[in-house]
Amino acid sequence: MITRRKFVTRLVQGAGASLLLPTLQHCRPAETMHAQLGGPDAALGHRLRTMDFGPPVSDTTTGIVIIGGGVAGLSAARYLKRYTSDFTLLELAAEPGGNAIGGQNAVSRYPWGAHYLPMPNDQDPELVAFLQEAGIITGYTDGLPVYNEYHLCFDPQERLYINGYWQAGLVPREGIPVRDRDEIERFLARMHEYKEMRGSDGREAFAIPVANSSQDPVLRQLDTISMETFLTQHNFTSPFLRWYIQYCCADDFGSAPADTSAWAAIHYFASRKGKAANASSDTVLTWPEGNGWLTNQLQTPLQEHIHTRSLVHNIQWSRGQVAVTYFDATAGVSRRIRARAAIVATPQFIARRLLGDTTRTFRPEAFQYAPWMVANVTTTADLTEKRGEPVCWDNVLYGSESLGYVNAVHQKAGLTGTERVLTYYLPLLGTDALARRQQAQRTTADAWTDIILADLQRPHPGIEQHISSLDLWIWGHGMIRPAPGFIWGTDRPEAARPLQDTVYFAHSDVSGLSIFEEAFYQGHTAARQAWQTL
């Protein structure tokens, strides 16, 4: 019997189809339901295309300017705060956090994007230090960290709706043939080998941060093929295993196995090695607002340095000096800020536009970003219409193109009442990310609502009669997609290369993986380089 928890724990211890947009009027909700479509401030961001800005009305100076207030930018600011107060962070949105932001309604806080942090490895001392500062790690016992119980995911943690039944764990188990279970065991054993493996250079085959992984050419060769090809080469044909691998790739990369580097996909299973004194190694850290809780902890001591609704539209630089021009959307004017160094903590498609021609020679098309739709559904449904496991934190639907839903109120101690907020995740898979992005932007709130309800009605018949609000968020560029050849190709390191010890780059896309740990690592690494140069 293999639950996902046991699946991952044992690692630590020892077919994407395009989304259809049907009109499903038969499943329309009750008239009392309110649907609302939102997302990042695209109108403000798209002004970069027209460059419709006046001349700057002010000219100020700072030591280091950070462009972008996602996890990487906030991590960079946190590092600098230790040594200086002479820095400024410019963020486009009204709230820092990037794809880790959260929201709130009368029922609960909830995530709009990234919603958990796996048990961290010990290879990034800065991340461990931050978790101590935030009160997540409260001490050590026998050399292992002790975690605040309120930050560890409560039980029950995961369930999968399969064959009309809610089973415990996310690896398919209920009602599947023995041969499929055996194949899952074989895959598990293969991933265990990679987890234990070290390369010819003595380094871990798969590590977090990625920069600590082995450079062994034999291992790096896995980056040249897709996960789909890897599965075929090793005769992994079970449709149940294939579905699970697709779920994992969609979860971490926003891509199907055919569009995902085999190295990156194996990294998903083989890189997690964190341990704790008071929790199993597969336990995750989570909060009602997801990783928005972490970004709030990062930004709280940095408020005097953060300028929100600030659209940077030009960066001029030469060795030892930078001039950044930005549009202050609150005041409706352009401003200029001069610094001795800049940390560009934005995706590469934005960084290139801001910097213009540089000596970096990476291929822009190598950086592909996955679009997502996220919905927060407020409901009074009891969610136990089908047999099996009770409502969990993570609730996944076998065969669905979605990732299911996270119960945002799961971590609320002493919860009373029947209202919940369900955070529903739909990665928009497909080789052509641009086409999926454009399709998402054309889709109406009503059409998204029909898609969500059709999916949720399978395990929860009649749920539409118990929904009071359905709030939607479209991430056009939700996360970097590690396509075959991207992790160990030449484009990623070239994009990360600093410009004349003056302009530094810090974003999860230069790691190749859009996870909190990588963004955090890129941020403090760039900040350290910039500070040491100054």
Distance of alpha carbon 213 from the chain centroid: 20
CA gap 271, 194 in Å, rounded:
9
CB 423 within 8 A of CB 405: yes
Q: Residues near 46 by Cβ (< 8 Å), separated by ≥ 6?
A: none
Count CB neighbours of 319 within 10 A: 9
Task: Show the DSSP H helices in 311-402 as ranges.
Answer: 348-355
CA gap 438, 445 in Å, rounded:
15
Distance of alpha carbon 510 from the chain centroid: 14
Tokens 């609960």, residue? 108
Distance of alpha carbon 163 from the chain centroid: 30
Using DSSP, state whether 519 is helix, strand or coil.
Answer: helix
> Would you say 406 is a known binding-site residue?
no
Residue environment code for 52-80, b if the CB has 16+ CB neighbours within 10 A, otherwise e = ebeebeeeeebbbbbbbbbbbbbbbbbbb
Q: What is the amino acid identity at position 61?
A: T
CA gap 467, 23 in Å, rounded:
19
CA gap 509, 70 in Å, rounded:
12
Binding residues: 312
Binding residues for FAD: 312
